[in-house]
A and B are shown apart, each in its own frame.
Chain A
Amino acid sequence: GNSVTQMEGPVTLSEEAFLTINCTYTATGYPSLFWYVQYPGEGLQLLLKATKADDKGSNKGFEATYRKETTSFHLEKGSVQVSDSAVYFCALTLSGGSYIPTFGRGTSLIVHP
Chain B
Amino acid sequence: NAGVTQTPKFRILKIGQSMTLQCAQDMNHNYMYWYRQDPGMGLKLIYYSVGAGITDKGEVPNGYNVSRSTTEDFPLRLELAAPSQTSVYFCASRPFFGGTPDTQYFGPGTRLTVL
Contact = CB atoms under 8 A, between A and B. Distances in A.
A105 B31 contact: no
A34 B107 contact: no
Interface in B61-115: 90, 92, 94, 100-104, 106-109
A77 interface: no
Contacts of A45: 106
Contact of A98 (B56, B90, B106): B56
Interface string B33-72: 1000000111101001010000010100000000000000
Contact of B90 (A44, A49, A93, A104): A44
Interface residues of A, number: 22
Interface string A4-45: 000000000000000000000000000010101000011111
Interface in A39-64: 41-46, 49, 51
Nearest to A92: B102
B103 A49 contact: yes
Given A43-B90, A43-B106, A98 B41 contact: no
A101 B56 CA distance: 15
Contacts, number: 55
A93 B101 CA distance: 10
Nearest to B3: A43
A105 B106 contact: no
30 contacts: A32-B101, A34-B103, A36-B104, A42-B108, A42-B109, A43-B107, A43-B108, A43-B109, A44-B90, A45-B106, A46-B100, A46-B103, A46-B104, A49-B102, A49-B103, A95-B102, A98-B31, A98-B48, A98-B56, A99-B31, A99-B94, A99-B102, A100-B33, A101-B104, A103-B42, A103-B43, A104-B42, A105-B40, A105-B41, A106-B42
